[in-house]
Amino acid sequence: MRAQAEQRIGQLYPKITVSAAMVAERPDLAPLQGQALTVIAWLWARTVRSPNPAFSHAEVPLASTFVLSSKAGKGAYVVPVLEGEGYRFAVKVGEAPAEAAEGTAAGKRGGFYCLLSRSPIDYQYIRSEGAAGRMGARLMAIVAEGARGRIYLAPTEEHEAIARKAAPAWRPEVKLHGKCRVNVSNYGLDTYGDLFTPRQLVALTTFSDLVPEAIERCRQDALAAGLPDDGLGLDAGGNGPTAYAEAVGVYLAFALSRTADWGNSLSRWESKAQVPQQLFGRHAIPMIWDFAEANILGSSTGSLDASTQNIYKSFVKSSAEFVIPGHALLDDAQTQGITAQRVVSTDPPYYDNIGYADLSDFFYVWLRKCLRQIFPGLYATVAVPKAQELVATPYRHGSKEKAEAFFLDGMTRAMHNLAEQAHPAFPITIYYAFKQNETSDTTGTTSTGWETFLEAVIRAGFAICGTWPMRTEMGSRMISAGTNALASSIVLVCRQRVANAASVSRREFIRELNAALPGALDEMTRGGVNSPVAPVDLSQAIIGPGMAIFSQYAAVLEADGTPMGVKTALQLINRFLAEDDFDHDTQFCLHWFEQFGWSVAGFGDANTLAQSKGTAVTALVNAGVLESSKGQARLLRWAELPPGWAPETDTRLPVWEALHQLIRALNHAGESAAGALLARMPSRAEPMRALAYRLYTLCERKGWADDARAYNELVTAWSGIEQAAGEAGLVGAQAQFDI
Ligand SMILES: C[S@@+](CC[C@H](N)C(=O)[O-])C[C@H]1O[C@@H](n2cnc3c(N)ncnc32)[C@H](O)[C@@H]1O
């Protein structure tokens, strides 16, 4: 296919010959003089007319950088040379001077400056030029293949002229939507066709025309090889030469898709790795001012060859051990019937995380061109269907609220459809990928996306019987590289809720959580049959046993009779791990303890942390949990706390203090004394228990065995202490019916 493409459009992809003139300017090129080098990429800068009236005849570059290679010892950069009324680009080798990094950019929000007049070019001006169709591009450098690495060359008029000669016979006219539109439409990019240079359009169109030809060729080859002919294509469930050839065509279309991801005018040149970057490093189309146009007929990143190799490798890997017939069908999850009596594992959309349909159009327009004849049902529409898509996109539904309601209703319907149809003997597993802000295990925050999703699952009639944290994303993805992304998914394990499920009170729900979660946490951190859950994953994993309790009931009723929402249930469950329900002093102590244990550390640290937690060092000292003197501070151990402490008269009573006094009582005087103390501060009981649990897991994780033991003893003695508290009579609560 590549050879055919070479025949048809090879003239648009010339080699570059190192001329004597080039060597005169760049003596380092002398050994290459006369050689014709294969181009890896042409690097372009977008241009606008200079806003300075004196230079309005000139198209000046919007270059975000002039650095071509930042590889140590192999640096290269562009140097703009002003000549007469215009300019040209030269290329130099060596480490780039500091100013090259900025190109013609004028700081983060400043836009650019005119290379000729130094006049500022703000974004508003660029937008108006773009909207008027006056944004152009100028060749800034050529990257070619050398015997030992990349060779960077100044642009030539011939190469620029050849690129401008390309006249595409077809272009995708589908309009950009959503996150594919917001960043670029202001600059005049309106349809998918606008995201490609004319030469890229010619190449991709040529490839897509070649796919059906390749299919026919494969079919002939398969027939000639004697494969029994059933005359059926893939869509009709065929298994002979036609289906075989079409399957090859599908993979070639994938390779074309991948080529498009690298072969568009929004592909950045990555100066460290010295390769073009793919467009979709994230789930949106960003605006790029200088771009790399890969040599699609070459063999480096971005070429058809490299893309085909990549698809081939994936194919070999994924089909190495087993091949199971697969089946693709376009249907709406809310009404589909294919899951009847099946075992279902599904990966639904995650609220507003990704605008699949909008993003898919980028690939769909090319896939449709190649594959419509093979899968008429899959490619019936000009663009990807959007109306039924279950994502909460405010722009599509009019407002944030309407988008949320659409998602919740639709997802409930889709889940209900699954719950009703799937085989009752097996649980259904549902993947949920967390966003960064949903995975914070210290804040215990809950997000609308996660809550709404769980709400839909439970409303649909599912009881959740497990939540499994799972690593599903590659760490090297652009989004996670260099950030603290946990890259986790959670698998919800669900069964249909029993038809006559009861309702319970909030109190009963909390009682059940108290009874079940400490044990569940214990099992997760210790690891029994299963390997231990990593501490960072605990906050997700604990939702499983918590939600198992919540979702088995038709409703958990609040004191006023209203059903408890998922948000509240999650907060109650998270309490077993999270700290944000604790008072400010306790939050301070927890953080300090995690960092310094019982050791002494600087007052400055204590002061900063106290401020961030909304308290003060003096307040902590007054509360009786911290000692501070001579510019230092440390937490007081339980054994150092004063005896004879009276919670009723303590005006500042952090849970931290109450818990350590309770441990003191337990260790010094046993369960009944601890029970008697607990009876005097019943409202602290639940937070104390949660804090003890949290401290226990913390100490275990840190390997602080002695401390872990103290908290563990309290947790294991808890029911005895509670009983003793009951016997002592809860102060402030009615201990007996007054009959
Ligand atoms: C999380 S993604 C699945 C990704 C997939 N597991 C993969 O690895 O490629 C969710 C998918 O649900 C699809 N989707 C959204 N709304 C839908 C609906 N109403 N019916 C069926 N599928 C839908 C989206 O197009 C998207 O492909």
Atom of ligand 1 nearest to the CA of 384: 25
- Choosing from 347, 386, 413, 470 the residue with most ligand 1 atoms within 8 A of its CB, the one to mutate for a pocket test is 347
Q: Which residue has the higher pLDDT, 448 or 601?
A: 601
Contact 708, 593 (CB under 8 A): no
Atom of ligand 1 nearest to the CA of 356: 25
Average pLDDT over residues 74-90: 95
Q: Quickly state the pLDDT bin for 444 (edges 50, 70, 90).
A: very low
Average pLDDT over residues 369-374: 94
Average pLDDT over residues 189-204: 98
Q: Quickly state the pLDDT bin for 124 (edges 50, 70, 90).
A: very high
How far is ligand 1, taken at its centre, from the CA of residue 415, in Å? 13
Average pLDDT over residues 321-341: 88
What per-residue confidence (pLDDT) applies to 472? 62
- Choosing from 283, 345, 389 the residue with most ligand 1 atoms within 8 A of its CB, the one to mutate for a pocket test is 389
Q: Quickly state the pLDDT bin for 720 (edges 50, 70, 90).
A: confident
Q: How far, in Å, CA of 527 to CA of 564, rounded? A: 32
How far is ligand 1, taken at its centre, from the CA of residue 181, in Å? 21
What per-residue confidence (pLDDT) applies to 440? 36
How far is ligand 1, taken at its centre, from the CA of residue 332, in Å? 10
Instruction: Take atom 6 of ligand 1 and give the residue whose Cα is closest.
Output: 347
Average pLDDT over residues 416-430: 93
List residues near ligand 1 (CB under 6 A): 332-334, 347-349, 356, 388-390
How far is ligand 1, taken at its centre, from the CA of residue 411, in Å? 12
How far is ligand 1, taken at its centre, from the CA of residue 499, in Å? 29
What per-residue confidence (pLDDT) applies to 579? 55
Q: Quickly state the pLDDT bin for 538 (edges 50, 70, 90).
A: low
187-201, 392-406, 410-424, 605-619: least confidently modelled range: 605-619
Residue 447 above 50 pLDDT? no
Which contacts of 691-697 are long-range, i.e. CB under 8 A and separated by 24 or more positions? 691/582, 691/586, 691/590, 691/655, 691/656, 691/659, 692/659, 692/663, 692/718, 693/518, 693/521, 693/576, 694/576, 694/577, 694/579, 694/590, 695/590, 695/593, 695/659, 697/521, 697/525, 697/535, 697/538, 697/577
pLDDT, averaged across the chain: 88
Residue located via tokens 């919670």:
647
How far is ligand 1, taken at its centre, from the CA of residue 219, in Å? 32
SS3 403: helix
What per-residue confidence (pLDDT) applies to 321? 72
Residue partners of 347: CB distance under 8 A and separation at least 6:
430, 431
Average pLDDT over residues 293-297: 97
What per-residue confidence (pLDDT) applies to 580? 56
What six digits make up the tokens of 192? 């998918």
Instruction: Take atom 4 of ligand 1 and give the residue whose Cα is closest.
Output: 347
How far is ligand 1, taken at its centre, from the CA of residue 352, in Å? 12
pLDDT digits (tens, 9 = 90+) for 580-617: 568 889 989 998 998 899 999 999 888 888 887 788 99
Distances (CA, A) of 259 to 3, 191, 214, 307: 16, 19, 17, 6
Which of the residue ranges 57-61, 407-411, 533-537, 728-732 has the most confident prediction, judged by mean pLDDT? 57-61
Report DSSP state, residue 599. Answer: S
Residue 712 above 90 pLDDT? no
What six digits make up the tokens of 622? 């007054």
pLDDT digits (tens, 9 = 90+) for 224-275: 999 999 999 999 999 999 999 999 999 999 999 999 999 999 999 999 999 9
Q: Quickly state the pLDDT bin for 370 (edges 50, 70, 90).
A: very high
Atom of ligand 1 nearest to the CA of 348: 10
How far is ligand 1, taken at its centre, from the CA of residue 357, in Å? 9
Residue 486 above 60 pLDDT? no
Handedness of CA 490, 539, 284, 357 (dihedral sign): positive
What per-residue confidence (pLDDT) applies to 576? 72
Residue partners of 5: CB distance under 8 A and separation at least 6:
203, 206, 207, 210, 296, 297, 304
Atom of ligand 1 nearest to the CA of 410: 19
What six digits make up the tokens of 711? 């908290």
- Choosing from 356, 358, 388 the residue with most ligand 1 atoms within 8 A of its CB, the one to mutate for a pocket test is 356
> Facing residues of 270 across strands?
275
Average pLDDT over residues 37-50: 98
SS3 655: helix
pLDDT digits (tens, 9 = 90+) for 451-469: 888 888 999 999 998 877 7
